Structure 1
Amino acid sequence: MPELQHSIKRQRKYLIYLLAIFVLGWGFTSAQSIYAGLILGTTLSLYNHWIISRRIERFRKAVEEGRKIPSLGTILRMGSAALAAMIALQYPDQFNLVSTVCGLMTAYVVIMIDFGIQHFIKRTNGKER
């Protein structure tokens, strides 16, 4: 399980770096509504990542102790996505809806890329056969 915790921390760090890049893009380019949408979506994506990581830890503890398995917070994550869409629709001149949706997907893209990189590293080091 420590490997999972390291992966979650690494992915969270990548998301924060990506968010910083989007803030710089918002501050230094003329495409402010696009970057504002990316910032909004990525912020809520980071929140969703935090929720799922907490729920996975609860899930693991429940399995170890033989208790009833709790939910993984799907309603909360869907609610945050709906909130992002509502904000982007309410203020279309400040937030681009398409970039907000793309921002909501960034955590999943980061997870897939991180998994691919880690799999490649383990494979080249001979730890996985």
Structure 2
Amino acid sequence: MMYEYGSIVTRQRKWMLYLLAILVLGAAFTPYSRIFQGLLLGSIVSFYNLWLLQHKTKALGEAVAESRSVRGGLGTFSRLAAVALTVLIALRFEENFHFIAVVIGIVSSYIIMGLDILFRMVTGRNNRSGN
């Protein structure tokens, strides 16, 4: 089960890094740099939130498996604080960051997770069935 979780984590991080690379290229080489910079800012925070959520989830799973008490939660406050800080940066420097693009970037990790689940369902690559 932990191997399956590890492969899911690795795959989602890989897709987030691909997305970040595309956004960097878009910000550097297109005339829509403000939009791409907003997407990039939001996606960087989204990647941090994804990493934090995955790290905390793994720690929680290990604690439950070892029957020990869990200290702290899933980092909800930290993730919300990162989003709030990102929104403040976007509002303060709105000449550099398109606000709606920042918001879309913030949810990009959830889009990646949803697409990953959808892809696994459509292709039938479900490890629980023994494949």
Which TM-score applies when normalising by structure 2? Answer: 0.91
Within 2, Cα distance between the matches of 1:108 and 1:94?
24
Within 2, Cα distance between the matches of 1:121 and 1:2?
20
Identity, in percent, stands at 35
**Which residue of structure 2 lines up, in the alignment, with residue 23 of structure 1?**
24
Match status 1:3 vs 2:10: no
Within 2, Cα distance between the matches of 1:37 and 1:66?
43
State the aligned residue count. Answer: 126
Q: 3-state SS of the aligned residue for 2:69?
A: coil
Q: 3-state SS of the aligned residue for 1:72?
A: coil
Within 2, Cα distance between the matches of 1:78 and 1:17?
24
- Cα offset for 1:122? 2.2
Within 2, Cα distance between the matches of 1:32 and 1:123?
37
**Which residue of structure 2 lines up, in the alignment, with residue 107 of structure 1?**
109
Deviates more, 1:87-96 or 1:58-67: 58-67
Within 1, Cα distance between the matches of 2:91 and 2:111?
24
Please, what is the CA RMSD of the aligned residues?
1.5
- Cα offset for 1:123? 6.2
**Which residue of structure 1 lines up, in the alignment, with residue 49 of structure 2?**
48
Structure 1 stretches lacking a partner, 5+ long: none
Deviates more, 1:73-82 or 1:24-33: 24-33
Letter of the 2:73 partner, please give it.
Answer: S
- Structure 1's consecutive aligned runs of 4 or more residues displaced over 3 angstroms after TM superposition are none
